[in-house]
Amino acid sequence: MSFLTAENIGHHYFSLSSVTTALKDVSFSIEEGEFISLIGPSGCGKTTLLSILSGLLAPSDGTVKIDGQPPDLQNNVIGYMLQQDYLFPWKTIEENVLIGLKLNRQLNDDTKESALQFLQKIGLKGVEKQFPRQLSGGMRQRAALARTMAVNPKLLLLDEPFSALDYQTKLNLEDLVFEILKAYKKTAVLVTHDLGEAISMSDRILLFAANPGRLHKVFTVPDELRRQTPFEVRSKDAYSELFSIIWRELETLEESK
């Protein structure tokens, strides 16, 4: 059985005067350790789907199973990383990183030690006692990664985590997150508007269409690209070829919106 299965997912948003079908009949599965990107035109339901996968939003139709269970953000199987780092400004970086462990009553000498070692591994040694406002945007996102990883989730849901960063920081952080997730054998689902980011980080790309939001096509990234870091991938011919193919599909979807 796959690590994650989504079967016939549908979702409607209701208001007094209208109904929006954000997702219709979406089915897919993800294997353990896979990196999947969700892309598609604005309004095709990517964020809605991520909320459903996290368990924060119950779908109107269909079922999701993660590691054999319905999704539940409370059970530590799932970690969430967002565009904004949502670090508590009044807490130090160390306190921010340990907060998930504390809330889950898992904070002990061992978990603290490994969380602090992780900070060192991702280049944040020496800032443990500083506050978020003293760090750059890229450093704050690293701290957010450390906080997410501290509770050792099996699945990471990444909602445009690099989109607020300058280009160079973004490329560096893509490489870092990619290497960390591979080293720790995590499964990941990334929502992004950046096609280059999707191709360079993913094993597969799920392309969604809008009105109603639905799964349009699935692209498998060639093996030769998957053995390299996102930065290296961006200079390969196979990357450019896949970029052109998906770009044309995206243009068609934008035109038919």
Ligand X SMILES: Nc1ncnc2c1ncn2[C@@H]1O[C@H](COP(=O)(O)OP(=O)(O)OP(=O)(O)O)[C@@H](O)[C@H]1O
* Contact positions vs ligand X (CB under 6 A): 13, 20, 22, 42-48, 213
* Tokens describing residue 3: 């690590």
Q: Is 105 exposed, middle or buried, given 0-12, 13-18 or 19+ CB atoms closer than 10 A?
A: exposed
Tell me whether residue 41 or residue 132 sits nearer to ligand X (CB atom).
Answer: 41
Tell me whether residue 44 or residue 198 sits nearer to ligand X (CB atom).
Answer: 44
Residue 50 CB, shortest distance to ligand X, in Å, is 8
Residue 42 CB, shortest distance to ligand X, in Å, is 3
Residue 16 CB, shortest distance to ligand X, in Å, is 11
Tell me whether residue 13 or residue 90 sits nearer to ligand X (CB atom).
Answer: 13
Residue 159 CB, shortest distance to ligand X, in Å, is 9
Q: What is the dihedral of CA 106, 109, 112, 118, to 10 degrees?
A: -120
Contacts of 212 (CB under 8 A, 6+ apart): 21, 22, 23, 24, 45
Using N-to-C axis directions, what is the helix angle for 137-150 and 109-121, rounded to 10°?
Answer: 150
The answer to whether the peptide bond before residue 212 is cis (omega within 30 degrees of 0) is yes
Tell me whether residue 100 or residue 213 sits nearer to ligand X (CB atom).
Answer: 213
Distance, CA of 61 to CA of 12 (rounded, Å): 9
* Tokens describing residue 92: 């130090």
Distance, CA of 121 to CA of 99 (rounded, Å): 19
Tell me whether residue 71 or residue 213 sits nearer to ligand X (CB atom).
Answer: 213
Residue 144 CB, shortest distance to ligand X, in Å, is 19
Residue 243 CB, shortest distance to ligand X, in Å, is 19
Tell me whether residue 56 or residue 73 sits nearer to ligand X (CB atom).
Answer: 56
Tell me whether residue 116 or residue 253 sits nearer to ligand X (CB atom).
Answer: 253
Residue 47 CB, shortest distance to ligand X, in Å, is 3
Cα-Cα-Cα-Cα dihedral sign, residues 107, 113, 115, 116: positive
In degrees rounded to 5, what are phi and psi of residue 10? -130, 145
